[in-house]
Amino acid sequence: MCGFSDMGIHKFWVPHPRRVLVFAARVGICAATTQSSNTMSEPVFKLSRVSGVPISDEELIADLRRVAEMLGIKNVSVSQYEMHGEYSSKTQMDRFDTWNMALIRAGLKIYNANADRARIPELKLFENILTLWQHYGRQPRVRDLASAPSFIYTEKPYRLRFGSWIKALKAFVDYANGIGAESTESTVEEANETPITKITENLIDETSENLIVESTERQIEAIIVRRHTKKRDPSLRLRWRVLQRDNFKCCGCGASPAITLGVELHVDHIHPWSEGGETVFENLQTLCSICNLGKSNLLPDVINL
């Protein structure tokens, strides 16, 4: 701003606003260039979308394709797009009516969330129910799915498979109480049907003349004791039957998670597995973690449970 006098009257020259903006822009560019001289890798100017300017269909479609290419997949879920997309999934659905219509416009495959949930095997769904039943010592509720030890965190897979949570529980109970439990099945596999007399004969043949008979008998006894006809871990059906028989209570101290918070129940071998005890209904019992730890692998005649 400049001042001058003419016939005693002071006048001031005011520059045009546009010239001020041009001058300020030039100064800003110089300052930005000087400031970024040491960091040339970072761009000085970046484009940003002006608020209120509509997003075109082409931009939305291109962003969907970008996310699919980045993840290396042919269909994109809403949650995946919310994590990696530039726009919101709501914007996509508002523009193209549904999420699958947006995928079709982008040339991607339709995302079927129900099919994903339906892929969970039925036995896995039942196993989760039994895990919760054992943990709480009572019939599990829908809200129990949301927290550990549940490994299926929503009711939806059960509704898709069985129609409702109650129907899923009924299907589980029918399965667990159904025909084919371990006590009614053959307990000896064909591969393990070697007669004890044959084991004895082989051992006697392999012993030297100087080996005492007592030592040979101990070897035979050790082999017979460690010869199992079943796997160590009880099946889902067998666990259910044992827990139900024992009323979801510890056979040692009577503790139950339905009464005392934090009680953890185990299905344990009465005659220890390491001592030849089989995984059959009659040789299993329910113990809390404390009693099970104290029992270790002691034989029944050593402890009084």
d(CA 60, CA 246) in angstroms, rounded, equals 60
What class, spelled out in words, does domain 230-305 have in CATH? Answer: mainly alpha
Q: Average per-residue pLDDT in the chain?
A: 74
Taking phi first (over 0 means left), then psi (-120 to 50 degrees means alpha), and beta for anything else, what does residue 11 get?
A: beta
* pLDDT score for 176: 92
Name which residue leads in pLDDT, 249 or 75.
249
Is residue 50 over pLDDT 90? no
Residues 6+ apart with CB under 8 A from 67: 76, 80, 81, 84, 85
Beta bridge partners of 54: none
Q: Which residue has the higher pLDDT, 66 or 275?
A: 66
**Mean pLDDT to the nearest integer, 7-27:** 48
Q: How confident is the model at residue 267 (pLDDT cuts 50, 70, 90)?
A: very high
From the list 242, 246, 250, 244, the residue with the least C-alpha distance to 282 is: 242
Task: With beta carbons less than 8 A apart as the criterion, state whether 147 and 141 touch.
Answer: no
Whether 290 shows a pLDDT value over 70: the answer reads: yes
| pLDDT band at residue 47 using 50, 70 and 90 as cut-offs | low
Tokens at 265, concatenated:
């129940």
The strand pairing partners of 285, in sequence order, are: 268
Report, as an integer, the average pLDDT of 90-113: 86
Q: What is the mean pLDDT of residues 218-244?
A: 75
For range 54-64, the mean pLDDT: 91
The confidence score (pLDDT) of residue 248 equals 95
What is the tens place of the pLDDT at every residue in 133-160? 999 999 999 999 988 899 888 888 898 8
Q: Which two tokens stand for residue 251?
A: 């056979």
Which of these ranges, 60-69, 173-182, 199-208, 266-275, has the smallest mean pLDDT? 199-208
pLDDT exceeds 50 at position 186: no
Reply yes or no on whether the pLDDT at 189 is more than 60.
Answer: no
Check if the beta carbon of residue 168 is closer than 8 Å to that of residue 162.
yes
Task: Decide if pLDDT at 17 tops 70.
Answer: no
